[in-house]
Amino acid sequence: MTLSIINQIKERRKVLTISQETLAEISGVGLRTLKQFESGKGNPTLETLQKLCDALGLEIKLEVKSIES
């Protein structure tokens, strides 16, 4: 099962025993914004996702696929 990127961020934060407050502080992402994302609300920008991933030691990989008719 593939977890969404937000779920992966949330799970990694928990594994590292980092509070939302601490992650917000070290990533430079607002606490309110982080709480909204983790609760499934809001739509994070790629820049915000990158900040969170950098703080947690995660890597974002984008894949472009062509759609065949």
CA distance 27 to 9: 12
Specify whether domain 5-56 bears CATH 1.10.260.40: yes
- Distance, in Å, from the CA atom of 39 to the CA atom of 69, rounded to the nearest integer, reads 37
At residue 12, the 3 state secondary structure works out as helix
pLDDT digit of tens for each residue in the chain (69 aa)? 456 888 999 999 999 999 999 999 999 999 999 999 999 888 889 999 999 999 999 999 888 888 886
Which pLDDT score is estimated for 63? 84
At 45, list the tokens: 């920008």
Which pLDDT score is estimated for 1?
40
- Domain ranges for the chain, please list them: 5-56
